[in-house]
Amino acid sequence: MAQQYRITLLPGDGIGPEIIPVAVDALTVVGNQFGFKLTFQEGLVGGAAIDATGNPLPEETLELCRNSDSVLLAAIGGYKWDNLPRHQRPETGLLGLRAGLGLFANLRPATILPQLIDASTLKREIVEGVDIMVVRELTGGVYFGQPKGVFETETGEKRGVNTMAYTDSEIDRIGKVAFETAQKRGGKLCSVDKANVLEVSQLWRDRITAMSSQYPDVELSHLYVDNAAMQLVRAPKQFDTIVTGNLFGDILSDAAAMLTGSIGMLPSASLGADGPGVYEPVHGSAPDIAGQDKANPLAQVLSAAMMLRYDLDQAQAADRIEKAVMTVLDRGYRTGDIMSEGMKLVGCQEMSDALMAALEE
């Protein structure tokens, strides 16, 4: 019998419901081509879940995810929910999903596509050939450390507190993912921290350094986060794989994404020790263009390709999707976010049609 996979879809908010179907169609086509079958079930998360249930991550959604082989998420958030109390914010749902599924490793590739070089705000010679993988720790650090909250002091003043904390084991497990990722790529790993100021970063640096003897084929370096931010825009080609904590990774992965000029093209994978991963585009829910057939579905489609590669072990099908994305770009199809002179401006639906045509060829 053909291999079967159960996929949970979390369209979320904004352009999510427009781009998820494009990825589903692409997955279905390659499933037929490579002889595996996918079944899809849909769950609520983010603002959509708040509207329906009052909770940005209903228990039912988490259960659905746990009982599937993999999860494809679009994006969450929008103006409508921005002023709700924190426990009812879409972002809280996303953090709950990461914590609930134990997704401690977030892989965010930033690869310059030759067709889109001119979309970068940096000079061609700086970005041509950039191929970076940011490995961001995703369930620890200052996002989750205790204590956290806004407390009243003895003088009646309010004091907001978050705690940046990492344990040995949290550092070791993300370090392992990062070293192994670097091994499969260019063999260079740069660990980013703030060890000149923060104790938690000193521990991070010590642990990562200690691990490096197990990976003699990986060249390890360290940068302070401020310098890393500068180097990323000054000379990004020096980087191969970057490993860093949750907050630094949040910031640096956005900067790395923008090197490519097109955040609308970047996929990501969030992985745990076992169980399903969550695959999502790096871009957000883009509420300003939602429902207007303007969204770029390609990052969602490339996220589905990452899912095939990492969770479902269907590398050939992943290659097929990635190749089809290159084909539509070569043919000049561009959504507004990646549009440049002389190219053919299309909406989400037309991009989808072009992609399916390329996949079926």
> Please, what is the minimum distance in Å from the beta carbon of residue 62 to ligand IPM?
17
Rounded to the nearest angstrom, the gap between the alpha carbon of residue 194 and the centroid of all alpha carbons in its chain is 23
Residues recognised as catalytic:
143, 194, 226, 250, 254
Which of these ranges, 90-98, 121-129, 185-193, 325-333, lies near ligand IPM under the rule CB under 6 A? 90-98
Q: Is the peptide bond before 147 cis (omega within 30 degrees of 0)?
A: yes
3-state helix, strand and coil shares in percent for the chain, rounded to the nearest 5: 50, 20, 30
> Please, what is the minimum distance in Å from the beta carbon of residue 136 to ligand IPM?
8
By CB under 6 A, residue 91 contacts ligand IPM: yes
By CB under 6 A, residue 94 contacts ligand IPM: yes
C-beta nearest to ligand IPM: residue: 91
> Please, what is the minimum distance in Å from the beta carbon of residue 172 to ligand IPM?
22
Binds Mg ion by CB under 5 A, chosen from 69, 193, 250, 311:
250
180 binds, among Mg ion, ligand IPM, none (CB under 5 to 8 A by kind): none
> Please, what is the minimum distance in Å from the beta carbon of residue 254 to Mg ion?
6
Which of these ranges, 87-95, 235-243, 293-301, 323-331, lies near ligand IPM under the rule CB under 6 A? 87-95
Look up tokens 């790993």; give the residue: 189
By CB under 6 A, residue 25 contacts ligand IPM: no
Indicate the burial class of 339 (C-beta count within 10 angstroms; 0-12, 13-18, 19 or more). Answer: middle
Pick from 18, 70, 13: nearest CA to 45:
13
Q: In the beta sheet, which residues pair with residue 130?
A: none
Rounded to the nearest angstrom, the gap between the alpha carbon of residue 26 and the centroid of all alpha carbons in its chain is 19
By CB under 6 A, residue 258 contacts ligand IPM: no
Long-range contacts of 144-152 (CB under 8 A, 24+ apart): 144/95, 144/99, 144/246
Query: Binding residues for ligand IPM, per CB under 6 A?
Result: 91, 94-95, 250
